[in-house]
Amino acid sequence: MKTAIISDTHGLLRPEALTAIQGCDLILHAGDIGSPEILDHLSQIAPVQAVRGNNDLELPWAANIPDHLSLDLNGWPTLLIHDIADVPAHLAANTRLIITGHSHKPLIEWRDNRLYLNPGSAGRRRFKLPVTLALLDVRADTLEPQLIHLLP
């Protein structure tokens, strides 16, 4: 299952991001969405699961979007949450994949038997951080993450 992981769009969905996620089976948005149109555009490509970020909390259209989601991705117990600081409160013992956003800093790191994945920010550039998203090939026995740089 090819999964696109995007975060921190803050209302900006770049054409480069849309190109990068074509052909994905699922899209996960790790918060700070910015506008409902982002989710509408993404859902034209593949089914979307999303969580609210700290910048979405006061937006009326985001009231029904959860703060975290526990998912099963092709047999991989997964936690989707915006801020890594909130992970301990929602982490189940069997969780193998933790997807976060918030920091705008991409991260792909195995910690023991868990993959921590932050796709970085696909929205406006912040400081000198890269503009990125992640693609994740989810197979029954492996997770193969790839960071995609959207701007040079």
Token look-up 């982002």 returns 38
Output the pLDDT for position 79: 98
Q: What's this model's pTM, rounded to 2 decimal places? A: 0.97
Q: Residue type at 22? A: Q
The residue segments making up the domain with residue 8 are 2-149
What is the total count of domains within the chain?
Answer: 1
Q: How far is CA 59 from its chain centroid?
A: 19
Q: How many CA atoms lie within 13 A of 83 on its CB side?
A: 10
CATH number of the CATH domain containing 83: 3.60.21.10
* pLDDT in single tens digits along all 152 residues of the chain: 999 999 999 999 999 999 999 999 999 999 999 999 999 999 999 999 999 999 999 999 999 999 999 999 999 999 999 999 999 999 999 999 999 999 999 999 999 999 999 999 999 898 889 999 999 999 999 999 999 999 98
Task: Count other Cβ atoms within 10 Å, centred on residue 8.
Answer: 30
